């Protein structure tokens, strides 16, 4: 059954976005890309840093509230509907809730052929790349590196510590046909 959705899960600064862009380049069909960054961009500005929304702690912790969760759930339903309407879709996400986050997506994507991909990166290397990016709260990369994979099951895992984004994308694409 042809893969309709590729979902990448990994901590902040693990290299998901680079892999997504490479996937869109190497996959012969056009795939749409959505992820936690584009979801946060769709929220009202006042939900950043507010109760009910998403709060980035100075130490790298991230917590989300009830309004965030409700909109996030509707958003996931909508992404699934795009796939059911025929679009092939790459999603990148940070499973802050580990296995529970995966279950939420499994429910939304029910019946669709999904390729589950874990994006690993050594915690110290990810922390260094967080500094090199310069646009993220310091500490998120280290805090999320292992946490987001707890209890999550994958069809495939890639590790960006020593493997380039393009090479990771080629490995994933070979499983997505």
| 64: contact with a copy of itself by CB under 8 A | no
**C-beta separation of 113 from 5 below 8 A:** yes
> How many residues belong to the site for a copy of itself (CB under 8 A)?
50
Q: Cα 131 to the chain's mean position, in Å?
A: 20
| 42: contact with a copy of itself by CB under 8 A | yes
Q: Which residues contact 9 (CB under 8 A, 6 or more apart)?
A: 92, 93, 94, 95, 101, 102, 116, 117, 118, 119, 148, 149, 152, 154
> From the candidates 37, 51, 57, 146, which is the catalytic residue?
37
| 163: contact with a copy of itself by CB under 8 A | no
Active site residue 37: yes
The one segment of 98-106, 110-118, 123-131, 147-155 that binds a copy of itself by CB under 8 A? 123-131
Beta bridge partners of residue 62, listed in sequence order:
56
Interface positions with a copy of itself (CB under 8 A): 17-19, 21-22, 24-25, 30-34, 38, 41-47, 52-53, 67, 70-71, 73-75, 77-87, 125, 128-129, 131-134, 164-167
């Amino acid at each position: 059954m042809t893969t309709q959705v590729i979902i990448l899960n990994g901590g902040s600064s693990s290299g998901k976005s680079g892999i997504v862009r490479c996937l869109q380049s190497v996959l012969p069909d056009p795939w749409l890309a959505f992820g936690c960054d584009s979801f946060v961009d769709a929220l009202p500005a006042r939900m950043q840093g507010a109760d009910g929304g998403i709060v980035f702690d100075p130490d790298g912790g991230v917590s989300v509230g009830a309004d965030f969760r409700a909109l996030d759930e509707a958003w996931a339903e909508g992404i699934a509907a795009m796939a059911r309407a025929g679009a092939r879709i790459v999603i990148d996400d940070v499973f802050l809730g580990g296995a529970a986050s995966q279950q939420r997506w499994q429910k939304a994507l029910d019946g669709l052929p999904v390729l589950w991909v874990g994006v690993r990166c050594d915690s110290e290397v990810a922390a260094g790349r967080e500094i090199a990016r310069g646009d993220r709260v310091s500490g998120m990369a280290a805090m999320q590196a292992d946490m987001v994979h707890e209890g999550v099951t994958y069809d495939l895992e890639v590790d960006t510590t020593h493997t380039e984004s393009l090479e990771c994308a080629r490995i994933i694409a070979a499983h997505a046909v």
